[in-house]
Chains A and B, each alone.
Chain A
């Protein structure tokens, strides 16, 4: 139980309020309302911390924290109370951790923005949008049901569009914003379909209620096919948001926005939402009872996409010269690690559940641990890159070099971030990445396919270290190749960097005092122990392998880019090498393929539809119009000729008849009397005639 649970609402409402205030009157405030955004975020962080500490006291450190629902209000009422859709918050181990993580990183990034965005125009717009962005992410991780999650998820999608296109007058930025919005939309549609399917099957969208209803609905309403489909649809949303293959194309282009936005998207918000959603989808992937057959196909798809994307993205990072794009590719790659860890963990857990064994949630914890660590070091790297860009006014690493002298703090914190990203002991990346790889290797015992994924992961660890230090050496080592006069960033920017650098070191070691990260994250299953203590020798070997390849990658980067003992040209000397280099530079032609798809298929389809619209639809409309005119003319003629003619004819004939009849009105009384007498005679004749005919007919009948 959380004391004063209503404060949780304020975690969301503070940044939302900041958004409203800055959005309405920000232009008149100093610094475009930046201090308000920072203040709101700080409040949000303090409240998150308050909630988190209570969760820790009751759950993380022994005992089990009971997931707590904080009721809000009924949004869409229903005849059956349990079917109505409520807006309420869920506080459990996962969401409380995410709240702290998100609010803390947002706070640091906002503070950094005060320096970084100082000279920009449109600061009010920036701070309003990032505040709403933070609201979206905080809402996503604290939502109690899938619909609420989807709403905040879409708020984030909107904000990412607005922020990536912050410099909207730049055509590349506008195009990148559109790309980000459209590509993630593909995933969002899948997510939406998934939510609808869940509603159809369960009649509720709340996580806990779904979990409770699973056993009773299986396998009649919740068929095994549906159980496979639902997590895959949710994962489709995660693929779009977290930029996994094949919807990864938007993330590198999203670098067109301000660097702080990149840091926000990559470290704390947006892309992490996909991982969070997949973690929430564990209620489908790992059922509670062994009577339910877990959807192994869906799990394998998640793990395979993760495993593939991790290497796929890392290869593209190797050849890029844009400092931010290298980091963007590394984000895709690291997120893929998390999906790999979730997939492998889910596979192990599902296997154990179906066998009725106790569940070991190591993979789940490892993936979320990596999310936690990655948030810190990626925020650090992006903000560091922002500091570099701030100093040299370019993104191109070929125009950098030798910056460690003018930028001493930035270069050191970037080194910390790089070591963490590469996974070198004792920085945080080492613990979580090694954990993910060993979990994947362990899952190989259940399904041999995981050995292949493990191999991909190890290959990626090598490439990660290589491109990270390629970046570092190209930026900070050697001679300066640009034409600016670089200088260190102001303190408001370096202070968050130093804090984050501390965390890259600390977040790995934090796992120890918390009694294992799994204990913290996965309530009820505190099996995941310390990353290094009390685990079998095989795991030491696996950790050693991941560390070893990372060191090898680092050494190669040193040899190629620092000492230049191996010239970089040697790799592209052979025809095959040149081809691979070209292929990687072109990002496997996937963006080109999407563009071509857009240009040819979509554009031609649009043109065909345009033609159809102009010729057929407009033709039909015009035809109908012309037909209407013809019909109207015909009806007009009919009206004039026939109807009017008939009316005129009747009146004319009446006049003519009356004229003729007038002649009979002689005015002579006796002629009238004649007619009267004649009438009498006719009447008498008729009377007699009729009676005569009657009699005659009667006579015939007789």
Chain B
């Protein structure tokens, strides 16, 4: 059995990687992928605590989170596709129409 700390450290590392991707990369697709990594980091936490405490509800949440992540990814991709069609780019520092 893998100790809980390892799993949590892995989860934290995944979170940090995801955060880095969100904050540092310009490409919208990579940002979307980084968000997926952050989500998976949290799902990993669910699973870890579930197996640690012997409670299956964490795994239920994990499955739910995966489903939501898939839907979110689909919505995100659609948004970026739409942005690309209107602006011709998905470089986030070029997209400034959120400004007032």
From B22, B97, B99, B100, give the contact of A670 (CB < 8 A): B22
Interface residues of B in 83-97 (CB under 8 A from A): 92-93, 95-97
Q: Judge whether A667 and B96 touch: CB under 8 Å.
A: yes
> Within 8 Å of chain A (Cβ to Cβ): is B98?
yes
A76 within 8 A of B: no
Question: Is A662 in contact with chain B by the CB < 8 A criterion?
Answer: yes
Total residues of chain B contacting the partner, CB 8 A: 12
Q: Which of A653-674 contact B (CB under 8 A)?
A: 662, 665-670, 673-674
Chain B residues 1-56 with CB under 8 Å of chain A are 19, 22-23, 31
From A666, A673, A674, give the contact of B96 (CB < 8 A): A666
Docked-complex contact A667 and B23, CB < 8 angstroms: no
**A669 CA to B93 CA in the complex, in Å?**
8
> How extensive is the interface on chain A, given as a class?
10 to 19
Q: B19: which A residues are within 8 A, CB to CB?
A: 677
Task: State in angstroms the CA–CA spacing of A674 and B20 once bound together.
Answer: 10
Contact call A674/B23, Cβ cutoff below 8 A: yes
With beta carbons under 8 angstroms apart, the residue of A665, A670, A673, A674 that contacts B93 is: A670
Judge whether A677 and B98 touch: CB under 8 Å: no
Contact A665 B92 (CB under 8 A): no
Q: Is the interface of A mostly helix, strand, loop or mixed?
A: helix
In the assembly, what is the distance between CA of A667 and CA of B97, in Å? 6
Measured CA separation A662–B97 after assembly (Å): 14
Contacts of B95 in A (CB 8 A): 667-669
Q: Give A667 Cβ to nearest chain B Cβ, in Å.
A: 3
B100 with A669: CB separation less than 8 A = no
Contact of B99 among A667, A674, A677 (CB under 8 A): A667
Assembled-state Cα–Cα distance A673/B99 (Å): 15
Give the residue name and chain of the B residue nearest to A666 (CB): B99
Report Cα–Cα, A665/B97, bound state, in Å.
11
Which residue of the partner chain B has the closest CB to A669?
B92
Q: Which residue of B lies closest to A672 (CB)?
A: B98
Q: Is the CB of A673 within 8 A of B23?
A: yes
Task: Tell me the bound Cα distance from A668 to B96 in angstroms.
Answer: 6
When distances are taken between beta carbons in the complex, the residues of chain A under 8 Å from B98 are 667-669
Residues of A within 8 A of B93 (CB): 668, 670
Q: Which residues of the partner chain A approach B97 to less than 8 Å between Cβ atoms? A: 667
The CA of A667 and the CA of B92, in the complex, are separated in Å by 10
Closest to B19 in A: A677
Complex CA distance for A571 and B97, rounded to whole angstroms: 132
A144 CB, min distance to chain B CBs, angstroms: 97
Pick the contact of A665: B23, B31, B99 (CB < 8 A): B99
Q: How far is the CA of A321 from the CA of B79 in the complex (A)?
A: 131
Shortest B99–chain A CB gap in Å is 3
Q: CB-CB < 8 A to A666: which residues of B? A: 96, 99
CA distance A670 to B94 in the complex (A): 11
Q: How far is the CA of A668 from the CA of B28 in the complex (A)?
A: 12
A494 to B31, CA, bound (A): 139
Cα(A665)–Cα(B100), bound, Å: 8
By a CB distance below 8 angstroms, the chain B residues around A677 are 19, 23
Complex Cα spacing A662 to B100, Å: 8
> Cα distance A662–B99 when bound, in Å?
9
Give every chain B residue within 8 A of A673 (Cβ-Cβ).
22-23
Of chain A, the residue at the smallest CB distance from B22 is A673
Residue of A whose beta carbon sits closest to that of B93: A668
The residue of chain B having its C-beta at the shortest distance from the C-beta of A680 within the complex is: B19
Nearest B residue to A667 by beta-carbon distance? Answer: B99
Residues of chain B lying within 8 A (CB to CB) of residue A668: 92-93, 95-96, 98
| Residue on A nearest B25 in the bound complex, by CB | A670
Give the docked Cα–Cα distance between A674 and B19 (Å). Answer: 9
The docked-state distance in angstroms from the alpha carbon of A667 to that of B22 is 15
A667 and B23 alpha carbons, distance in the complex (Å): 14
The CA-CA distance from A547 to B97 in the complex, in Å, is 136
Residue of A nearest to B99 (CB): A667
How far is A665 from B93 in the complex, measured between Cα atoms in Å?
13
Are A670 and B92 in contact (CB-based, < 8 A)? yes
A701 CB to closest chain B CB (Å) equals 32
A528 CB to closest chain B CB (Å) equals 120
What is the bound-complex CA distance between A203 and B23, given in angstroms? 103
Question: CA–CA, A668 to B23, complex, Å?
Answer: 11
Which chain A residue shows the least CB distance to B26?
A: A670
B77 to nearest A CB, angstroms?
Answer: 16
> From A662, which residue of chain B is reached at the shortest CB distance?
B100
CA distance A674 to B99 in the complex (A): 16
Distance between Cα atoms of A420 and B89 in the complex (Å): 142
Binary CB contact string for chain A from 664 to 693 against chain B (1 if under 8 A, 0 otherwise): 011111100110010000000000000000
Q: Name the interface residues of A611-633: CB closer than 8 Å to any CB of B.
A: none
Q: How far is the CB of B62 from chain A (nearest CB, A)?
A: 22
Residue of A nearest to B94 (CB): A668
What 1/0 flags go to B64-89 for Cβ under 8 Å of A? 00000000000000000000000000
Report Cα–Cα, A666/B98, bound state, in Å. 8
Write the chain A residue with the least CB distance to B35: A673
Report the minimal beta-carbon distance from A643 to chain B, rounded to whole angstroms: 32
Distance in Å: Cβ of A518 to nearest Cβ of chain B: 118
> How far is A662 from B19 in the complex, measured between Cα atoms in Å?
26
B31 contact set on A, CB distance < 8 A: 669-670
Chain B contacts for A667, CB-based, 8 A = 95-100
Q: What residues of A have a CB within 8 angstroms of the CB of B23 in the complex?
A: 670, 673-674, 677
Q: Which residues of A contact B22 (CB under 8 A)?
A: 670, 673
Q: A446 vs B21: C-alpha distance in the bound complex, in angstroms?
A: 137
Q: How far is the CA of A668 from the CA of B93 in the complex (A)?
A: 6
Complex Cα distance A121/B44, Å? Answer: 127
What's the minimum C-beta distance from B29 to chain A, rounded to whole angstroms? 14
A673 to B22, CA, bound (A): 8
Chain B nearest CB from A659 CB (Å) reads 12
Contacts of A665 in B (CB 8 A): 99-100
Residues of B within 8 A of A670 (CB): 22-23, 31, 92-93
Q: Smallest distance from the beta carbon of A658 to chain B beta carbons, Å? A: 11
* Alpha-carbon distance between A51 and B92 when the two chains are bound, in angstroms: 125
Q: Would you give the shortest CB distance from B15 to chain A, in whole angstroms? A: 10
Cα–Cα distance between A662 and B98 once the two chains are bound (Å): 12
Q: Which of A662, A669, A674 has the most CB of B within 10 A?
A: A669
Bitwise interface map of A from 232 to 274 toward B, beta carbon under 8 Å scored 1, else 0: 0000000000000000000000000000000000000000000
In whole angstroms, how far apart are the Cα atoms of A667 and B99 in the complex?
Answer: 4
Closest to B28 in A: A669
CA distance A669 to B97 in the complex (A): 10
CB distance from B19 to the nearest CB of A (A): 6
Q: How far is the CA of A491 from the CA of B23 in the complex (A)?
A: 137
B residues contacting A by CB (< 8 A) are: 19, 22-23, 31, 92-93, 95-100
9 A-B residue pairs with CB within 8 Å = A662-B100, A666-B99, A667-B96, A667-B100, A668-B96, A668-B98, A669-B31, A670-B22, A670-B31
Shortest Cβ-Cβ A-B pairs, 3 listed: A667-B99, A667-B96, A667-B98
Known interface pairs A667-B97, A668-B93, A670-B23; 18 further A-B residue pairs with C-beta atoms within 8 A, sorted by A's residue number: A665-B100, A666-B99, A667-B95, A667-B96, A667-B98, A667-B99, A667-B100, A668-B92, A668-B95, A668-B96, A668-B98, A669-B31, A669-B95, A670-B22, A670-B92, A670-B93, A673-B23, A677-B23
